[in-house]
């Protein structure tokens, strides 16, 4: 045999040995090298199913599982009036080329999904609404309101709910005129108001896609409006009107402002609307889920309060007053550009005034002679300074951005006065002695004055303080300037009057009870 024949015979022998070895050992070294676990089977195209990262099994058809899920969800289709139901959003069906022979049927996979996640994990076509919570200034510092996510099937449901929420804070006719650009501009000496700009301050995103079924899907604009206004869809507390009730008394007795009551009961338009005995009203506390910012121009004829000019008489004791000339109030045409957040004035951006009738100052002669007290070197806090005439604490004209009473579930113990502007003078409302002059995170720069007959006045959010503890002040003396210090959203004076020492048993009351 030649060398070539010997070589061919050797090759044939080697191949025969390999065939025998491979045939006898299906899990041979060769099989392992090429990644085959069952060398006798052919690989197949199958689908591995994962739910929230957990393997549920292997199926033959992705389409059959999706169809089975859709077929089984009759209840969801009827509930939401939809034609198709889809798999959970975290269900992944991945195509694989595999030798796995353990194939599950789609019914078994479906049962595993229901057992692990329940029917509320299935999805339908709709819209995801995301409202980003704003970071807000609070009494204790900055605080971010929680984000809000919910779903709708029809985008019109969301748009209708937003419109209804907006018109809870903005007159509907004015809103429609603004949207349609048909507002009447004011000219000459016209009075009235118009909207310069209207927007939602929160970032809102609307995403179309598959949404999870459950309680967070809104199909009714009225229900969604409740969420946007009250922060909940739960029924609000109810009250049955009794004989003698008014909107104002019901609101005050239940820690609501009149404005909040009217928003919660949109069948009423003003505090003077009549109620009938047995009528049921809502007592829900308004918790808007977004900040509606309205920039508006307001033109009004406003009274310009007469200034009080004092002539000092050192022959008369402190407390003596005699009116030499009553003077008279004036009248001005005042234009203000206001920033309003959810129906409440939060800032006066600009104020201009045109005098229509000039004011004439009131002239008062007052005594300045001090009482003398013998003995002791300490400060006598009871030295009388005289209860004079009450004067308005700010320059005029002005606006009241927030009145005395309940708002957002808390008692607002004074009134917020805006309009005269940053740095404008703040005056002592009456004769007295300064008992507090300092700074807190809530009140900012503030001053408290003790007056005769157990009256106390507080002036907060000042830009500067001109008086210190122990100083004697007379009505009309400058004690500071208007500012935005402490917990304040805009330039204003928080002015409060108490009978008794503030926060030490004293009771606040509406300052307008004094300035009648």
How far does Cα 153 stand from its chain's mean position?
A: 26
Expressed in percent and rounded to 5, the helix, strand and coil fractions of the chain are 20, 40, 40
Nearest-angstrom CA–CA distance, 426 and 472: 16
Neighbours of 36 (CB within 10 A): 16
For residue 325, which of 314, 311, 312, 313 has the smallest C-alpha distance?
311
User: Which DSSP state fits 360?
Assistant: B
Alpha helices in 255-364 (DSSP H): 258-264
Measured between alpha carbons, how far is residue 185 from residues 191, 300, 340, 497 in Å? 10, 14, 19, 40
Beta strands 44-51 and 54-59 are antiparallel
Confidence at residue 324, expressed as pLDDT on a 0 to 100 scale: 94
Helices (H), 34-102: 62-72, 74-80
Q: 3-state SS string over 11-34? A: HHHHHHHHHHHHHHCCCCHHHHHC
- The predicted pLDDT at position 8 comes to 53
Task: Report pLDDT for 339.
Answer: 93
- Long-range contact pairs involving 177-181 (C-beta distance under 8 Å, separation at least 24): none
- 3-class SS of residue 52: coil
**Cβ contacts of residue 391 below 8 Å, gap of 6+?**
308, 427, 428, 429, 430, 475, 476
458 touches 448 (CB < 8 A): yes
| 468 class by beta-carbon count within 10 Å (0-12 exposed, 13-18 middle, 19+ buried) | exposed
Q: How many CB atoms lie within 10 A of CB 396?
A: 20
DSSP state letter for 178: H
Q: Which residues contact 63 (CB under 8 A, 6 or more apart)?
A: none
End-to-end CA distance of the chain: 136
Q: What is the pLDDT along the chain (516 residues), one digit of tens a residue?
A: 555 555 455 554 554 544 444 444 444 443 333 334 444 467 888 999 999 889 999 999 999 999 999 999 999 999 999 999 999 999 999 998 887 678 999 999 999 999 998 888 899 999 999 999 998 776 666 788 899 999 999 999 999 999 999 999 999 999 999 999 999 888 888 999 999 999 999 999 999 999 999 778 999 999 999 999 999 998 889 999 999 999 999 998 998 888 889 888 888 988 999 999 999 999 988 899 999 999 999 999 999 988 888 899 999 887 788 899 999 999 999 999 999 999 888 888 888 899 999 999 999 898 888 766 544 444 444 545 666 678 999 998 888 988 998 887 788 999 999 989 999 999 999 989 999 999 999 999 999 999 988 999 999 999 999 999 999 898 899 999 999 999 888 899 999 999 999 999 999 999 999 987
Spatial distance between the Cα atoms of 124 and 255, rounded to a whole number of angstroms? 42
| Summary count for the chain: helices (H), strands (E) | 10, 30
DSSP letter string, 401-470: EE-SEEETTEEE-SEEEESS-TT-EEE-SSSEEEEEEEEETTTEEEEEEE-GGGEEEEEEEEEEE---TT
Task: Confirm whether pTM is higher than 0.95.
Answer: no
Residue 48 φ/ψ, nearest 5 degrees: -95, 135
């Amino acid at each position: 045999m030649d060398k070539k024949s010997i070589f061919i015979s050797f090759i044939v022998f080697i191949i025969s040995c390999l065939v025998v070895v491979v045939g006898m050992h299906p899990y041979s070294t060769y099989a392992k090298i090429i990644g085959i676990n069952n060398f006798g089977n052919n690989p197949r195209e199958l689908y591995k199913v994962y739910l929230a990262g957990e393997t549920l099994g292997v199926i033959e058809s992705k389409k059959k599982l999706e169809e089975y899920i859709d077929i089984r969800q009759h209840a969801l289709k009827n509930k939401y009036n939809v034609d198709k139901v889809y798999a959970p959003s975290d269900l992944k069906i991945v195509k694989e080329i595999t030798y796995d022979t353990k194939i599950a049927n789609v019914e078994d996979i479906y049962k595993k999904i229901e057992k692990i996640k329940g029917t509320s994990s299935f999805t339908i076509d709709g819209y995801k609404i995301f409202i980003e919570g704003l970071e807000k200034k609070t009494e204790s510092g900055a605080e971010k309101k929680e984000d809000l996510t919910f779903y709708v099937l029809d985008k019109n449901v969301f748009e209708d709910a937003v419109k209804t929420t907006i018109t809870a804070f903005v007159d509907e006719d004015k809103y429609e005129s603004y949207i349609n650009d048909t507002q009447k501009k004011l000219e000459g000496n016209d009075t009235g108001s118009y909207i310069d700009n209207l927007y939602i301050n929160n970032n809102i995103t609307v995403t179309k896609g598959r949404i999870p079924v459950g309680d967070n899907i809104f199909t009714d604009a009225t229900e969604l409006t409740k969420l946007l206004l009250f922060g909940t869809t739960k029924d609000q507390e109810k009250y049955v009107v009794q004989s003698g009730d008014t909107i104002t008394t019901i609101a005050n007795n239940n820690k609501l402002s009149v404005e909040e009551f009217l928003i919660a009961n949109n069948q009423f338009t003003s505090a003077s609307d009549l109620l009938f005995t047995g009528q049921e009203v809502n007592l829900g506390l308004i918790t808007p889920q977004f900040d509606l910012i309205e920039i508006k121009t307001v033109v009004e004829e406003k009274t310009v309060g007469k200034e009080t000019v004092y002539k000092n008489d050192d022959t008369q004791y402190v407390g003596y007053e005699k009116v030499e000339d009553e003077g008279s109030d004036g009248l001005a045409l005042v234009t203000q550009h206001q920033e309003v957040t959810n129906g409440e004035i939060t800032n006066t951006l600009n104020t201009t005034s045109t005098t229509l009738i000039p004011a004439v100052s009131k002239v008062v002669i007052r005594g300045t002679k001090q009482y003398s007290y013998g003995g002791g070197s300490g400060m006598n806090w009871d030295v009388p300074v005289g209860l004079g005439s009450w004067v308005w604490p700010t320059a005029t004209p002005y606006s009241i951005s927030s009145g005395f009473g309940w708002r957002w579930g808390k008692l607002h113990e004074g009134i917020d006065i805006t309009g005269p502007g940053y740095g404008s003078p703040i005056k002592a409302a009456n004769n007295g002695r300064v008992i507090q002059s300092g700074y807190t995170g809530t009140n900012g720069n503030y001053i408290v004055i003790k007056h005769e007959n157990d009256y106390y006045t507080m002036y907060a959010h000042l830009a500067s303080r001109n008086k210190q503890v122990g100083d004697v002040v007379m009505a009309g003396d400058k004690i500071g300037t208007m500012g935005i210090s402490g917990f304040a959203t805009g330039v204003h004076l928080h002015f409060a009057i108490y009978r008794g020492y503030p926060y030490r048993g004293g009771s606040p009351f509406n300052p307008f009870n004094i300035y009648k």
